[in-house]
């Protein structure tokens, strides 16, 4: 089931700083815990896998400290389940690496497709499925942004950036639930034109 940006923002407001810290901290773990000699020869896929592991570790720690959050690992898919106070339902969030257009890097398994298609997965008590993750700069050396998105099949319903001071929506919704175009006063980020040639960066991912 799709969730509107305003509803997600309101429900997740108490968790945004912690969620950002999980992702930002994982990137810093990669930079500080992995020797520079290893980082210098690591393929983009290896880097993505390591950062993903650090995000999982920090996500587990977050869930252990907050009774309204729990983590579930289902067929190698790691999901944080948030049960916000005064909110009807639970929100499941996958921690991911995004490409420059805010799309998660995935192995296209049926489980991933169902999650992105807003299907409720067996053993995963989430009413809404979101993804939170990072975009790296063109040099692969720093984080360009930390984002929260609402996936909808092969596209994103909405995309937002988690800032140290809060969150901003940076693209319009693809469509509203009643099939009417939703107009918001937000900064629109146009999709970039990508080359047909895929490099190792575009294949970096771990479930």
Residue 176 pLDDT exceeds 80: no
Q: pLDDT tens for residues 20-48?
A: 999 999 999 999 999 999 988 888 889 99
pLDDT at 1: 85
Give the residue-averaged pLDDT of 8-30: 96
pLDDT at 200: 45
**Can you tell me the distance from the alpha carbon of 147 to that of 86, in angstroms, rounded to the nearest whole number?**
24
> In the chain, pLDDT over 70 holds for what percent of residues?
81
- The mean-pLDDT minimum among 23-27, 108-112, 138-142 falls in 138-142
Helix boundaries (H) for the chain: 5-12, 16-33, 36-41, 44-65, 110-116
- As beta bridge partners, residue 104 has 98
Q: Is the pTM of this model over 0.85?
A: no
Helix (H), strand (E) counts: the chain: 5, 7
DSSP string, 96-134: EEB-TTS-B-----HHHHHHHTTPPPTT---SEEEEEEE
Q: pLDDT tens for residues 79-101?
A: 999 999 999 999 999 999 999 88
Q: Give SS3 for 184.
A: coil
Residue 53: which pLDDT band, with cuts at 50, 70 and 90? Answer: very high
Give the residue-averaged pLDDT of 164-172: 69
């Amino acid at each position: 089931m799709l969730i509107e940006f305003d509803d997600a923002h309101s429900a997740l407001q108490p968790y945004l700083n912690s969620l950002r810290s999980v992702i930002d901290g994982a990137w810093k773990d990669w930079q500080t815990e992995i020797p520079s000699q290893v980082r210098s020869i690591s393929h983009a896929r290896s880097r993505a896998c390591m950062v993903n592991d650090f995000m999982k570790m920090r996500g587990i720690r977050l869930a252990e400290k907050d009774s309204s959050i729990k983590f579930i690992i289902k067929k190698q898919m790691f999901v944080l389940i948030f049960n916000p106070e005064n909110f009807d339902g639970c929100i499941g969030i996958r921690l991911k690496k995004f490409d420059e257009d805010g799309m998660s890097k995935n192995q296209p398994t049926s489980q991933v497709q169902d999650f992105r298609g807003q299907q409720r997965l067996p053993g995963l008590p989430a009413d809404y499925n979101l993804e939170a993750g990072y975009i790296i700069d063109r040099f692969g050396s720093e984080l360009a942004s930390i984002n929260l998105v609402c996936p909808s099949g092969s596209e994103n319903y909405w995309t937002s950036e988690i800032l140290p001071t809060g969150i901003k929506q940076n693209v319009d919704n693809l469509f509203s639930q009643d099939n009417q175009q939703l107009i918001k006063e937000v900064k629109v980020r146009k999709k970039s034109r990508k080359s047909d040639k895929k490099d190792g960066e575009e294949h970096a991912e771990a479930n």
